[in-house]
Every structure is written in structure tokens, then in C-alpha cells.
């Protein structure tokens, strides 16, 4: 990643992301410390600007499945046994929220996505799609 000064950016600089670098998951045997499997990051499509396949957010695991979100907006489910991608969804899209408002998914871990979410308001959140009380503006 390269950075250049940009006073218009919320952080004061703009990063040039490499759409082919970053990310990936590894599973280790806790008793032996040996690598069980490794899954490389899925590169970003060439048509997606300022994209990174980095997986900066913490993973979530349930029996048999490891979930990992990435900066490019994808949420993937990996086999806990082999690291094979079981399913992949791109959240960087427009959605209709549960209260009928418009919502937009996106990056899981990037400051650019946080700025976009703040500008769009509370309906620009996956929480609004899952939780009717949140989407309606009442406490959960």
C-alpha cells in the first residue's frame, strides 16, 4: 500500500491499495502448532477501484465454518476443516432495509467505508437489515 497526502481525505492522506495483495487465512493445530490449512486471499476484480482483498476484521467461527470479511466488501464462509470457500457474497451493493429505506453495504475494515456510512446515516448498515428495532431508530 502506498500513501500520498490528500487534504480532502478524512485521514489527510490517500492510500493506493494493491488489488492483488493482502489477506488470506491460516489454521493451526493448537496442540502441535502445525499448519493445518492455508487459504489465499481472493484478488479484487480489475474493475473495482481502490480495492484490497485484505482481511483486517476478526474472524467468526461456528462448528465447521469460519467467516471472514474483507476490505473489498466480501463476506466469505470457509470450511474449518480444509479452508475451502463454501460461499462468498459481495456486500458492496445497494440493499432495501427492513423498514423500506435504502442501505449500502461495503468494506469490512476500511476508513473510506466508515466515512460513506456516516454520510448516508444509520440505514447504511447491515445491522439495519437484520434488526427491525435498529432500522426503525428505536433501541434494541
Place 20 in a pLDDT band, splitting at 50, 70 and 90.
Answer: confident
Contact 51, 72 (CB under 8 A): yes
111 pLDDT exceeds 50?
no
- The pLDDT assigned to 119 comes to 37
Place 21 in a pLDDT band, splitting at 50, 70 and 90.
Answer: confident
Sketch the domain layout of the chain as residue ranges: 17-89, 91-140
Question: What is the Cα–Cα distance from 138 to 128, expressed in whole angstroms?
Answer: 11
- The pLDDT assigned to 129 comes to 37
Q: Which residues have a Cβ under 8 Å from the Cβ of 32 and sit 6 or more positions away?
A: none
**Over residues 20-25, mean pLDDT:** 80
Q: Which helix (H) or strand (E) holds 57?
A: none
* CATH class as words, domain 17-89: mainly beta
pLDDT in tens, 83-103: 999 999 988 888 899 999 998
pTM: 0.64
Amino acid at each position: 500500500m502506498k500513501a500520498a497526502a490528500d487534504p480532502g481525505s478524512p485521514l489527510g492522506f490517500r492510500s493506493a491499495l494493491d488489488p492483488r495483495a493482502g489477506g488470506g487465512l491460516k489454521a493451526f493445530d493448537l496442540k502441535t502448532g502445525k499448519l493445518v490449512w492455508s487459504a489465499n486471499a481472493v484478488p479484487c476484480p480489475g474493475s473495482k477501484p481502490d480495492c484490497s482483498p485484505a482481511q483486517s476484521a476478526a474472524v467468526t467461527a461456528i462448528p465447521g465454518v469460519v467467516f471472514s470479511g474483507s476490505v473489498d466488501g466480501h463476506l466469505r464462509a470457509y470450511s474449518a476443516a480444509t479452508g475451502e470457500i463454501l460461499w462468498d457474497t459481495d456486500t458492496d451493493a445497494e440493499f432495501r432495509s427492513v423498514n423500506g429505506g435504502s442501505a449500502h453495504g461495503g468494506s469490512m475494515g476500511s476508513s473510506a467505508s466508515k466515512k460513506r456510512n456516516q454520510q448516508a446515516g444509520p440505514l447504511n448498515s447491515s445491522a439495519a437489515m437484520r434488526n427491525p428495532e435498529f432500522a426503525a431508530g428505536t433501541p434494541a
